[in-house]
Amino acid sequence: MARLPVYLRALVALAERGIATCSSEELAAAAGVNSSKLRKDLSYLGSYGTRGVGYDVEYLRYQIAREIGVTEDLPVVIVGIGNLGHALANYSGFTTRGFRIVALLDSDPDRVDEEVGGLAIRGHDDLERIVREENVAIGIIATPAAAAQAVCDRLVAAGVTSILNFAPAVLSVPPGVDVRKVDLSIELQILAYHEQRKALVQPIEGGVTA
């Protein structure tokens, strides 16, 4: 399920605060979900809790990490080192949460060998070799929309089977390849939509909708 990483993050946060055990209510609150949903999700992995007591934070943390498959670092490449690629390369959250950035790729020859976040930018020519040599299964696309599909095709051909796409483009991939899309302006537009509805409803009803 897509909520396991959220639970994992909440567990890490609890562990950092020195909390050794927690109930489903507490963990659900930390993760921002319903406690029933949380228990059902966790029961899908197995019975890792103790009735009357709760869950052992450290134990559950490891079990979820194992289920997700981030017990050891997974190699990742980032393609497109523009503003966003820069930020991603410097983002500490990747490296501390089960991922290892093995290469930064950019099509601009002038940028090759430039260092970002302690890693030198490589040209697109090296894409296939790096993916094969490092056994990279996950690629991050942070190129302009026009280049996204071509980059995607090359990544998939080289052996990448999961893609995180920041480019505002719909990627078509063969079966067996997963794509997740993060579109920043679409997120904002969704907020704008709710915003507009609030602006329309509130003056009439005279209050916020609980």
Partner DNA sequence: ACGATTTTGTTCTCACGTTCACAAGCTCCT
Partner DNA sequence: AGGAGCTTGTGAACGTGAGAACAAAATCGT
Region from 25-33, 46-54, 102-110, 147-155 binding its own copies, contact rule CB under 8 A:
25-33
CA dihedral 3, 174, 98, 131 (to 10 degrees): -170
* 35 near DNA, rule: CB under 7 A: yes
CA dihedral 171, 174, 176, 178 (to 10 degrees): -10
Q: Which of 14, 42, 57, 101 binds DNA (CB under 7 A)?
A: 42
Separation CA 199–CA 86 (nearest Å): 37
Q: Of 60, 57, 47, which Cα lies nearest the Cα of 19?
A: 57
Structural element, H or E, at residue 72 = none
* 11 near its own copies, rule: CB under 8 A: no
Binding residues for its own copies (CB under 8 A): 2, 4-6, 8-10, 30-32, 67-70, 74, 76, 83-84, 86-88, 90-91, 93-94, 97-99, 137-138, 140, 161-164, 168, 170, 175-176, 178, 180, 182-199, 208-210
Binding region for DNA (CB under 7 A): 22-25, 33-37, 39-40, 42-43, 47-55
